[in-house]
Amino acid sequence: MPGKYSLRILLLFAFFLCVRTIAFAQADPLERNLWYNEEKTAKIQIYKATDGKFYGKIVWLKVPEADGKPKVDKNNPDKNRKNDPLLSLLILKGFKKDGDKVYTDGTIYDPKNGKTYSCKITNKGESLDVRGYVGFSFIGRTTVWTKAD
């Protein structure tokens, strides 16, 4: 009977491997990678939330500490948030997929200056064009994020 038992375990393992592969194949391209910011000082994980929109948080910092303590969101205009750690900080919020490669109607938070901007993301395959703006998209700045994996 050990042969039958081993075969069952092997088949069960193969089944779970297929299910995992199918789930990964269904993930949006933004979710399949971690992304370096333009300066490569942070990695951002983008995910699709239960509301169907995309969000992104900082999951790695090249220099995670300042003065021996974890870096915090010291420039946040909300004084109650100034001590929030930068790691796990949500910086992309509320993006809707608009076609194959464009994500719109979201915002990006810049912890360097504590400001939030309207934002549009264009997936270029190996990179993302992340355009932050106030009011109109043509009045803004684009940074290029690259795959970190």
Condensed to tens digits (0 to 9), the pLDDT of residues 128-140 reads 999 999 987 888 9
110: nearest Cα among 137, 131, 136: 131
Residue 130 token pair: 């992340």
For the chain, how many structural domains are there in total?
2
**Statement to judge: residues 112 and 133 lie in one domain:** yes
- Are 51 and 7 within one domain? no
Residue 9 pLDDT level (bands cut at 50, 70, 90): low
What value does the mean pLDDT take over residues 61-86?
A: 96
Domain containing residue 124: 33-147
User: What's 103's domain CATH number?
Assistant: 2.40.128.520
> Could you tell me if 70 and 135 lie in one domain?
yes
**What pTM value is reported for the model?**
0.81
Q: What per-residue confidence (pLDDT) applies to 138?
A: 81
1 in the same domain as 58: no
Predicted confidence (pLDDT) per residue in 22-35, tens digit: 444 468 999 999 99
Same structural domain, 73 and 132: yes
Question: Does one domain contain both 9 and 69?
Answer: no
- Same domain for 11 and 81: no
